[in-house]
Amino acid sequence: MINEEKVILMTKLASYETQEGKRDISIINYFRGDYISFQVLKSVIAATLSFLALFAVYIFYNFEKLMQDIYKMDLLEFGKNVVILYLCTVGAYGAISYVLYASRYGRAKKNLKNYYGNLRKLAGMYDK
Amino acid sequence: MTTLLVAKQYIRNFIHKYEIYLKPLMKLILALMAMMMINGQIGYMNRLDNISIVLIIALMCSFMPMNFIIFVAAAFTVLHLYALSLECAAVVLVLFLVMFLLYFRFSPKDTLVVLLTPICFVLNIPYVIPLAMGLLGTPASAISVGCGVIISYLTGYISDNATTLSSIDAEDIVTRFRFIIDGFLNNRDMLFIIAAFAATIIIVYLIRRMSIDHAWTVAIIAGALADVMILLVSDLMFDTNVSIVGMIVGTVISVLIAKVIEFFTFHVDYSRTEKVQFEDDEYYYYVKAIPKITVAAPSKTVKRINSSKRKSSGAQPRR
């Protein structure tokens, strides 16, 4: 006689293992703080590279104007503005990635908790 | 309807059976289409505009992960533009870099849209992309579709103005650079298309998640109408260069394609819909259960009436 409940449970477990389970386990291998800080660090590096690329485009676009005004303009002020803009961009992007990866970690932990709970339930069914 | 469902079942069985061959084949076709379209539109580098090279790379793509095709298409685009002018290549490279570093780190599954959007633009059915992404994706897909629109408009702008670009003095790098950036940033058509597509994705997504009968069909039609309306209003107000007949024909074809997508991804029978209520210690549950339709494909069985022994003995049928 087929135990329908057991079949449903096993199907759920197998589908989780083959799909999200792999990713969740790779996330949970880290401690929460380590995982999030590593991902945020990667985000900061990505944001820095993107900012540098866009800044280079801006400089090149306004090259003639900048060359003309280079002795007239307050370079310190300009540099300060650029640094502030950089910090704002990287800060905002870092904050978004913190929230995103924190929620991903939380979701992975919850999913795995459910998964282990279901595994125990399944083991209990075999013990009966 | 039953015939369609049987056909769906046949196709599903076929795909399950031959998935191992079909997946690389689809990748091969996609890579071939992408590279041939890039070569057709901006084929400035003669070495790459060669069918044997395209075939070899497409074959390579068929065994690699899906994102490799995107990488190859991006590399193809940058190399072709490098042959036209260094500045074009630099601008497109920066654009790709920013897109991949900032957005596609978060959602690597969406990268395919960036490839499909320019392909659909070339085929004159770009309106199918927001409908499909609204049905299959999330509102965040609007960003990916926006990236795809930006790439197709940028490459289109460069290919339209290739002669002007080459006529600008090669020494005058800054003028060329400004010409590309100005033309790209002042392109109002592109901005309206991005806005219309984003609105369409959000409308389709919101409606298809509503608990109403025929939610997907309503979502497709509402999304298509919203898309057309936004583009028409922008055309009237700001005189953008949108071809109205092309847009309407493209939208009708896109709606049909979206219906096909709906049919193959999600088909449910509303006549047997059940609403059940139950409770546990924490919550009350009000569940709407919608059964999926599955029709067993009729299998042919050959029944032999005459045995070979009787046949050989020369038994004649009675008249």
Give the 3-state secondary structure of residue B107.
coil
Query: Which residues of B are less than 8 Å from A49 in CB distance?
Result: 97, 101
CA dist B101 and B312 (Å) reads 77
Give the pLDDT mean for B27-41.
Answer: 91
Distance CA(B52)–CA(B48), nearest Å, equals 9
Q: Least CA distance to A89: which residue of chain B?
A: B102
Residue B49 has pLDDT above 70, yes or no: yes
* Residue partners of B110: CB distance under 8 A and separation at least 6: B104, B137, B140, B141, B143, B144
Average pLDDT of chain B, as a whole number: 81
How many Cβ atoms from other residues are within 10 Å of residue B16's Cβ? 9
The verdict on a CB contact (< 8 Å) between A43 and B105 is yes
Does B102 sit within 8 Å of A53, measured CB to CB? no
A93: closest chain B residue by CA: B102
Tell me, what's the pLDDT at B293?
Answer: 57
Residues of A in contact with B178 (CB under 8 A): 61
Taking an 8 Å cut-off on Cβ atoms, the answer to whether A100 and B106 are in contact is yes
pLDDT recorded at residue B299? 65
Of the candidate ranges A12-16, B87-91, B222-226, B280-284, the one whose mean pLDDT is the lowest:
B280-284
Which residue of chain B is at minimal alpha-carbon distance from A46?
B101
Instruction: Summarize the confidence of residues B143-155 as an average pLDDT.
Output: 91
Of B106-115, B223-232, B244-253, the one with minimum mean pLDDT is: B106-115
Using pLDDT thresholds of 50, 70 and 90, give the confidence band for residue B256. Answer: very high
**Taking CB atoms and an 8 Å cutoff, what residues of chain B touch A43?**
105
What mean pLDDT comes out for the span B104-116?
A: 82
The answer to whether the CB of B196 falls within 8 A of the CB of B204 is no
A77 token code pair: 């002020």
Q: Measured between CA atoms, how close is B173 to chain A, in angstroms?
A: 9
For residue B99, what is the nearest residue in chain A, using CA coordinates?
A: A50
B275-309 pLDDT, tens per residue? 545 444 455 545 454 556 555 566 667 777 876 55
Decide if B174 and A47 are in contact by the 8 Å CB cutoff.
no
Q: What's the pLDDT band for B271 if we cut at 50, 70, 90?
A: very low
pLDDT value at B319 more than 60? no
Interface residue B177 vs chain A (CB under 8 A): yes
Residue A74 dihedral angles phi and psi, to the nearest 5° = -85, 100
B174 to chain A, closest Cα gap in Å: 7
Q: Where are the beta strands (DSSP E) in chain B?
A: 274-279, 284-289
Task: At B265, list the tokens.
Answer: 């991804």
Can you read off the two tokens belonging to residue A29? 């291998």
3-state secondary structure of B49: coil
pLDDT exceeds cutoff 90 at A91: yes
**CA of B184 vs chain A CAs: smallest distance (Å):** 13
Nearest CA in chain A to B105: A43
Cβ-based contacts of A50 with chain B (< 8 Å): 97-98, 101-102
**Which pLDDT score, from 0 to 100, does residue B93 have?**
93
Instruction: Summarize the confidence of residues B247-262 as an average pLDDT.
Output: 88
Residue B5 has pLDDT above 70, yes or no: yes
Q: What is the mean pLDDT of residues B114-143?
A: 89
Inter-chain CB proximity B177 and A60 less than 8 Å: yes
Chain A with chain B: Cβ pairs closer than 8 A: 34
- Residues of chain B numbered 185-244 and touching chain A (CB < 8 Å): none
Q: Is a pLDDT exceeding 50 seen at residue B270?
A: no
- pLDDT, residue B279, reads 47
Could you write out the DSSP letters of every residue in B245-304?
HHHHHHHHHHHHHHHHHHHHH--B-GGG-EEEEEE-SS-EEEEEE-PBP--PPPPP----
- Please report, for residues A95, B119, B153, B227, the alpha-carbon distance to residue B253 in angstroms, rounded to integers and kept in the order given: 42, 15, 21, 14
Q: Is the dihedral of CA B73, B75, B79, B81 positive or negative?
A: positive
Chain B hits for A97, Cβ within 8 Å = 106
Q: Which among B91, B101, B177 is the nearest to A50, CB-wise?
A: B101
With beta carbons less than 8 A apart as the criterion, state whether B114 and B151 touch. Answer: yes
> What percent of chain B stands above pLDDT 70?
83
Q: Which of residues 43-62 of A touch B (CB under 8 A)?
A: 43, 46-47, 49-50, 53-54, 56-57, 60-61
Using CA coordinates, name the residue in chain A closest to B181.
A61
pLDDT digits 0-9 by tens, B54-93: 999 999 999 888 888 999 999 999 999 998 888 889 999 9
Q: What is the pLDDT at residue B197? A: 93
Mean pLDDT of B259-285: 57
pLDDT band for position B205 (50/70/90)?
A: very high
Q: Quickly count helices (H) and strands (E) in chain B.
A: 13, 2
Give contacts of A42 with chain B, Cβ < 8 Å: 105
Is the distance from CB of A10 to CB of B62 less than 8 angstroms?
no
Residue in A46, A54, A56 closest to B105 by CB: A46
CA distance A28 to A112: 9
Alpha-carbon span B118 to B4, nearest angstrom: 31
pLDDT at B167: 80
Query: Taking a C-beta distance cutoff of 8 angstroms, is the pair B205, B132 a contact?
Result: no
**Cβ–Cβ below 8 Å for B102 and A100:** no
User: Residue B42's pLDDT is what?
Assistant: 86
Question: In this model, does residue B137 exceed pLDDT 60?
Answer: yes
Q: Give Cα A31 to chain centroid, integer Å.
A: 15
Residues B257, B242: contact at Cβ < 8 Å? Answer: no
Write down the ipTM of this complex: 0.79
Selecting from A46, A60, A63 the residue whose C-beta is nearest the C-beta of B102 gives: A46
Measured distance CA(B150)–CA(B103) in Å, rounded: 14
B70: nearest Cα among B134, B119, B126: B119
Task: Pick the closest to residue B142 from B220, B208, B201, B209 (CA basis).
Answer: B201
Residue B33 CA to its chain's centroid (Å): 13
